[in-house]
A and B are shown apart, each in its own frame.
Chain A
Amino acid sequence: MRRFLQGVFAIYRKEMGQSLVSPVAYVVLGMFLLIGGLFYYTILTFYMERSLAAGMQAMQFGTPPEVDVPSMTINSLFGVLGQVALFLLPMVTMGVYAEERRRGTIELLMTSPVTDLQIVLGKYLASFSLFLILLLPTLAYHGVLFWKSDPRPPLGILLSGYLGLLLLGGAFLALGSFISSLTESQLIAAVVTFCVALVLWIVDIAGPGAGTTTGELFQYLSVLRHYEDFARGVVDTTSLVFFGSWIALGLFLTLRSLDSMRWRRA
């Protein structure tokens, strides 16, 4: 067991080291902060204006104000962060296996005394850690809310939102790793990952046109539906199972893909 973890850690450490010197990681981080910050500002000011307007209406007509700015801001912000993750995470995973294949370093990994499982876990944990680093600065947004807003923002929604975002990111990363293991081209890996993720994101729009059963299936498969629950503060077991099994499937397929690489090579 100890030896197993040491192997996983060796791969993890190498991946993190490579990420931290790679321009891609910094571009992704920069874009994430830029887009996230921009939307946060827009969302916050939008709801503040609405609440101001509602307040003035209340003064005129005597009904109590109904706008909960912190909750709505958090809800919308998670919606945006999810979409930004959809766009940027394919760039985090595009090189994970494709680059090893192109450089031939996969031959070093596969002839070393580490199992395919150790390689897959080490690489997955590294890309997940990178995602955590991306999310870290977004805590500052909520800091502003906690500091200035009255009533206090609801902690429950915040936590369930982050849980949802982590699961969503984890699922995209597992998908991206698998697709990266199928090609030697980082570009192809990124584009295909993005397209597949996008289709899964919005697959429920095909629901109404299809038959009842197929429609329900499409709705179940829709990432957006499961994710929106979390962003509203609802932790649903179905959604946990959905993301959990997606991650497990992605990692399993990556393992199979590594194994089949040995057999296909001519």
Chain B
Amino acid sequence: MIEVEHLTKRYGDTVAVEDISFRVERGEILGFLGPNGAGKTTTMRILTGYLPATAGTVRVAGFDVAEQSLEARRRIGYLPEQPPLYPEMTVTGYLDFVARIKGVPAAERRSRVDAAIAMTHLGEYRHELIKRLSRGYRQRVGLAQALVHDPEVVILDEPTVGLDPKQIIEVRHLIKKLRGSHTVILSTHILPEVSMTCDRVIIINKGRIAAVDTPANLTAQLRGGNLVWLELRGDRNGLEQTLRQIAGVRKVSVETLPDGGRMRVAVETEPGSDLRSRIVAAVVGRGWELYELRAVSLTLEEIFLRLTTEETEDTTRASEARA
């Protein structure tokens, strides 16, 4: 659904984003995790066609955002970090305007606006002026704006920043409801947020991708385990079994890569152990082709240290209660 290839953005001599490539599949929720100033907003602005890239290509639903910008924009809903609201409009009036400029046909406009209002639980405030709404409700109007034309791709820049714990939970709940029907990219600098909402996480730091993984694996790393990455070709079922037999292996997760049966394997091991040579021996011993092996570098941990890993206690508790 989204294909980003060798994307680079420079402002003069400053490099904001350097050689980023990734894909997002239809219906997936992808999290952009990284400290402030890592290049998250810049990447999202290029994806939405707000900024031109210095180099590289971005395709959304098959349309190049630079060459076929309007076609791509029609398929994207975007919530910038600062919700783009007109305070003197009513909620309905504003969403009606957004539906118009997004090209929603007149016959569907009314029902699309109603649907967006229902999804974001704004029914009570639909005739209220936006300037009279609290911060949390304004954020909801921002979300409704990104959903009103029922876009295939939804891009949310720090959707929960500045909200109180209860509002944060509501927003996350809403994002989770988009899974499957919409392709979502959201950015955050809060680690627990991605584990609660995302299927996959890209960690971005200083304009580069530091890691791509599932939230579960990232959390495991934080708990102190080590991670060894493998890329190989072999028999999937046998693979997990073989690796688990090595003493010190905690968990094995396998992901099949799209090109010709290669697999990417994350092996989580006990803290303080280095099992790399034994893993190689096991793989080669079975006659499988090994393409890559690396232990996750220290820099990732450094990035984690700069992320916000803690949430206020009541948010966590409320999230658990809700789950």
B251 contacts the other chain (CB 8 A): no
Q: How near does chain A come to B49, taking the closest CB pair, in angstroms?
A: 6
Enumerate chain A residues within 8 angstroms of B71, measured Cβ to Cβ.
Answer: 113
Q: A91-122 CB contact bits vs B (8 Å, 1 = yes)? A: 00000000000011111111111110000000
Whether the pair A265, B102 counts as a contact (CB closer than 8 A) is: no
8 cross-chain pairs, A with B, having the tightest CB-CB distances, nearest first: A108-B84, A10-B100, A105-B84, A113-B74, A111-B48, A104-B82, A112-B101, A113-B73
Q: B73-111 CB contact bits vs A (8 Å, 1 = yes)? A: 110101010101110110001000110111100000000
Whether the pair B49, A111 counts as a contact (CB closer than 8 A) is: yes
Whether the pair B97, A13 counts as a contact (CB closer than 8 A) is: yes
B188 contacts the other chain (CB 8 A): no
A148 contacts the other chain (CB 8 A): no
Q: B37-56 CB contact bits vs A (8 Å, 1 = yes)? A: 00000000100111110000
A-B contact pairs, 12 of them (CB 8 A): A7-B101, A13-B97, A18-B88, A103-B85, A103-B86, A105-B86, A107-B45, A107-B50, A107-B78, A111-B49, A111-B78, A263-B52
Q: A4-23 CB contact bits vs B (8 Å, 1 = yes)? A: 00110111011001100110
Q: How near does chain A come to B321, taking the closest CB pair, in angstroms?
A: 35
Enumerate chain B residues within 8 angstroms of A10, measured Cβ to Cβ.
Answer: 97, 100-101
Q: Which of B11, B49, B51, B97 contacts A14 (CB 8 A)?
A: B97
Q: Which residues of A are in contact with B by a Cβ distance under 8 Å? A: 3, 6-7, 9-11, 13-14, 17-18, 21-22, 103-115, 262-263, 265-266
Enumerate chain B residues within 8 angstroms of A22, measured Cβ to Cβ.
Answer: 88
Enumerate chain B residues within 8 angstroms of A103, measured Cβ to Cβ.
Answer: 84-86
B222 contacts the other chain (CB 8 A): no
Whether the pair A109, B101 counts as a contact (CB closer than 8 A) is: yes
Q: How near does chain B come to A24, taking the closest CB pair, in angstroms?
A: 11
Whether the pair A18, B89 counts as a contact (CB closer than 8 A) is: yes
Enumerate chain B residues within 8 angstroms of A265, measured Cβ to Cβ.
Answer: 51
Whether the pair B70, A262 counts as a contact (CB closer than 8 A) is: no
How far is B10's CA from A266's CA once the two chains are assembled, in angstroms?
Answer: 9
Q: Which of A11, A17, A104, A111 contacts B73 (CB 8 A)?
A: A111
The closest CB in chain A to the CB of B12 belongs to A266
B145 contacts the other chain (CB 8 A): yes
Enumerate chain A residues within 8 angstroms of B101, measured Cβ to Cβ.
Answer: 7, 10-11, 108-109, 112-114
Q: How near does chain B come to A262, taking the closest CB pair, in angstroms?
A: 6
How far is B86's CA from A103's CA once the two chains are assembled, in angstroms?
Answer: 8
How far is B103's CA from A21's CA once the two chains are assembled, in angstroms?
Answer: 25
Which of A9, A14, A109, A115 has the most CB atoms of chain B within a 10 A radius of its CB? A14
Within 8 A of A (CB), among B194-244: none
The closest CB in chain B to the CB of A265 belongs to B51
Whether the pair B51, A113 counts as a contact (CB closer than 8 A) is: no
Whether the pair A112, B52 counts as a contact (CB closer than 8 A) is: no
A113-B84 contact given A17-B89, A262-B51, A265-B51, CB 8 Å threshold:
no
The closest CB in chain B to the CB of A115 belongs to B70
Q: How near does chain B come to A178, taking the closest CB pair, in angstroms?
A: 21
Enumerate chain B residues within 8 angstroms of A11, measured Cβ to Cβ.
Answer: 101
Which of A3, A13, A22, A114 has the most CB atoms of chain B within a 10 A radius of its CB? A114
Whether the pair B102, A113 counts as a contact (CB closer than 8 A) is: yes
Enumerate chain A residues within 8 angstroms of B97, measured Cβ to Cβ.
Answer: 10, 13-14, 17
Whether the pair A111, B50 counts as a contact (CB closer than 8 A) is: yes
Whether the pair B80, A107 counts as a contact (CB closer than 8 A) is: yes
The closest CB in chain A to the CB of B47 belongs to A111
Enumerate chain A residues within 8 angstroms of B11, measured Cβ to Cβ.
Answer: 266
The closest CB in chain A to the CB of B84 belongs to A108
Q: How near does chain B come to A47, taking the closest CB pair, in angstroms?
A: 44
Enumerate chain B residues within 8 angstroms of A109, measured Cβ to Cβ.
Answer: 101
How far is B155's CA from A107's CA once the two chains are assembled, in angstroms?
Answer: 13
Q: B147-179 CB contact bits vs A (8 Å, 1 = yes)? A: 000000000000000000000000000000000
Enumerate chain A residues within 8 angstroms of B98, measured Cβ to Cβ.
Answer: 108, 112
